[in-house]
Amino acid sequence: MAKPISIEVWNPSGKYRVVSTKSMPGTRWIRLLTDQDCRVEICTEKKTILSVEDILALIGNRCDGVIGQLTEDWGDVLFSALKRAGGSAFSNMAVGYNNVDINAANKYGIAVGNTPGVLTETTAELAASLSLAAARRIVEADQFMRAGLYDGWLPHLFVGNLLKGQTVGVIGAGRIGSAYARMMIEGFKMNLIYYDLYQATRLEKFVTAYGQFLKANGEQPVTWKRAASMEEVLREADVISLHPVLDKTTYHLVNKESLAIMKKEAILVNASRGPVIDEAALVEHLKANPMFRVGLDVFEDEPFMKPGLAEQKNAVVVPHIASASKWTREGMATLAALNVLGKIKGYPIWGDPNRVEPFLDENSPAPTACPSIVNAKQLGLPSSKL
């Protein structure tokens, strides 16, 4: 017999049973569910990642919806179990859903939610932080101090890279990539080169206007260029930040060959998806090029790093915390809960999943809509007129 899963229960007599596989930041998301007659069960197991068997136990014989995490394997087994339990909704507390088999969800008529619209600035800030930390060797210097090795100022001690006037490269100039570019351009007066399948018109206009402002004030204007290829960005940029979607075309986008064409003292930042970098090739490149530096928030085989990466002093590594600001994580929890609640209640789908401010306003009732259902069209779900 399977071991019982420990849970925390809110509103025990609620009509609808909603399960959250993890405790999530804030309490508004709980209140939004319990105010609509939901019994909320939150898994309190100490395991970082729940197994399929654990989640099956949580779903049980009756469950209307589940809020889950990017680390969980949502496929045929879980969606069929949720369907048998009378459920109709699942939402990741994440914008990505690489862990979800959408075809399996469609097969069982389960709506799949995600949480875009609240991660843009937070993720861009983390990418900018990694850029600065790598450029100025902050983590190395911090460890040096903590080890008691500092015994006086030296001319060559932790000499890093100046960002001002250098070129920042962005691969994938969508919302997050463009926000990152603006931070680096306005913050450090860097020039921009970017590659994207679509022209980033708003970003180009921003850089042009900022360049004119600098020139009017007697400073060197910043410039922008849309590259014809990703390779052009890799060759020319001093700092490169990756912001593509992850699919078959972007798997190992950065590999041994592309690393070889980058500048010897370049900085590579990834806060998008781990598998866009061939991590084993990156480790070898870091070993061979000690002045090349990298800042990573995501990894190819999370939660693990490829052998040798942790030992490289020219690598700054953090545990997938790009969205880890209080406002963003609480917003993600709210949106995930409202995705599930909306489907249970039969609400239509919000028209623009990236304009979610009305759902996050604590002083007003949340719109009667699902913020973001990624398979809405496949399931034939109606769109909101709000």
pLDDT tens across the length of the chain (386 residues): 356 789 999 999 999 999 999 999 999 999 999 999 999 999 999 999 999 999 999 999 999 999 999 999 999 999 999 999 999 999 999 998 989 999 999 999 999 999 999 999 999 999 999 999 999 999 999 999 999 999 999 999 999 999 999 999 999 999 999 999 999 999 999 999 999 999 999 999 999 999 999 999 999 999 999 999 999 999 999 999 999 988 899 999 999 999 999 999 999 999 999 999 999 999 999 999 999 999 999 999 999 999 999 999 999 999 999 999 999 999 999 999 999 999 999 999 999 999 999 999 999 999 999 999 999 999 999 998 77
Tell me, yes or no, if 285 is annotated catalytic. no
DSSP 129: H
Hunting for tokens 């001002």 — which residue is that?
Answer: 164
Tell me, yes or no, if 273 is annotated catalytic. yes
Q: Which of 39, 273, 285, 293 is catalytic?
A: 273
Q: Residue 212: how many CB atoms within 10 A of its CB?
A: 12
Q: Does 303 sit behind a cis peptide bond, omega within 30 degrees of 0 on the bond before it?
A: yes
Hunting for tokens 């530096």 — which residue is that?
Answer: 293
Hunting for tokens 């009732």 — which residue is that?
Answer: 365
- For residues 91-113, one letter each, b for 16 or more C-beta atoms within 10 angstroms of the residue's C-beta and e for the rest, the string is bbbbbbbeebbbebbeebebbbb
Q: For the chain, which domains are there?
A: 7-114+346-379 (3.40.50.720), 120-317 (3.40.50.720)
Q: Which of 121, 186, 204, 302 is catalytic?
A: 302
Model pTM?
A: 0.90
Tell me, yes or no, if 45 is annotated catalytic. no
Cα angle for residues 325, 326, 329 (degrees, 5° grid): 80
Q: Residue 71: how many CB atoms within 10 A of its CB?
A: 16
Amino acid present at 195: Y
pLDDT in tens, 352-370: 999 999 999 999 999 999 9
Q: Is 374 left (phi over 0), alpha (psi -120 to 50) or beta?
A: alpha
Cα angle for residues 314, 122, 112 (degrees, 5° grid): 110
